[in-house]
Structure 1
């Protein structure tokens, strides 16, 4: 289980500034491939004071895929920061069901940039993770497939996979605005 990051007066001001900067970068992605729905910082407050404590830093937004059949809708995701962030990668999870080889039914997503610390470094940004996730939706990575049924369909019967994915898109996908 992930222990969410605890930000308090004992946390480094540099870390808090970085988090604010990362959220601002996510806002710049808005309307192209990502819409930021929730972040723990208000628009008019660029920093956290000693009196403010964020118990769990979680950011929510919607990925706007560009490939068929996913491009018809958006998919809500959350980015949760573990206690050791930025030395441990943020955890990305799909909150909207999506039929994809790299996404489990519970929303867990397998992306090289964050999983198992494989390609993750403390310099990886939220924006880079979002961009990599959008690319992964378009081009599944079967080497890291965690949804066996979707992976088998994608690899062996692309038409059936596309039909199945479209059913999920139409049933659970969210508006793109």
Structure 2
């Protein structure tokens, strides 16, 4: 960015420096392009003792111009099979939903985006999502995955394990 740094770029630059200096276990994050602080690439390592263990999941964080007033969007590039991740990879968790009241009444406003969230808190929430044995099936992003969790968990688990194996193979290609 050639112009004067704005508040959002200063915040993102500080968070990037912090994550570079003190990496957090379970993920790595960096810029897609050194000239654009609003696009980050992320690698999430499948959490131990979960179905996702051993996987390497690539994702993108896209920050809006008005960050931190509004949340970034997070999209997995690695194929995912999870009730709270859309088929196109878009992650659906409360802290990535815009601030304020939920028009559908599923979420408390305190569960939604707050400007105090950081890249670290977002990614730890996503790791927590992948670690959970009971994904949110009340308002699923991927209806087919939610249905499979409910009705045929062994098949769901098999699909996830297959994606994990593929992600591990592709991470080292």
Shorter chain as denominator, the TM-score bin is: 0.7 to 0.9
Matched, 1:170 2:151: no
Distance 1:25 1:102, change over 3 A: farther
Aligned residue among 151, 158, 166 for 1:156: 151
Distance 1:112 1:126, change over 3 A: same
1 CA distance for matches of 2:36 and 2:131? 34
Please state whether the residue corresponding to 2:59 is helix, strand or coil. strand
Q: Which has the higher strand share?
A: 2
Please state whether the residue corresponding to 2:163 is helix, strand or coil. helix
Segment drifting more, 76-85 vs 63-72: 63-72
Alignment of 1:19-168 (within 5 A): 19-27=12-20, 28-30=22-24, 32-38=25-31, 40-41=33-34, 54=35, 57-66=38-47, 67-117=49-99, 118=109, 119-139=112-132, 140-168=135-163
Deviations 1:10-36 (A, max 9, x none): 543x43331111112333334x21022
Q: CA deviation at 1:172?
A: 3.6
**Is the 2:31–2:37 Cα contact (8 Å) retained in structure 1?**
no
**Is the 1:63–1:75 Cα contact (8 Å) retained in structure 2?**
yes
**Is the 1:26–1:36 Cα contact (8 Å) retained in structure 2?**
yes
Distance 1:72 1:34, change over 3 A: same
* Structure 1 alignment gaps of length 5 or more: 1-6, 42-53
* Structure 2 alignment gaps of length 5 or more: 100-108
Show structure 1 runs of 4+ deviating over 6 A: none
Deviations 1:27-80 (A, max 9, x none): 3334x2102254555xxxxxxxxxxxx456211021112143211111001111
Question: Number of residue pairs matched?
Answer: 156
CA RMSD of aligned residues (A): 2.3
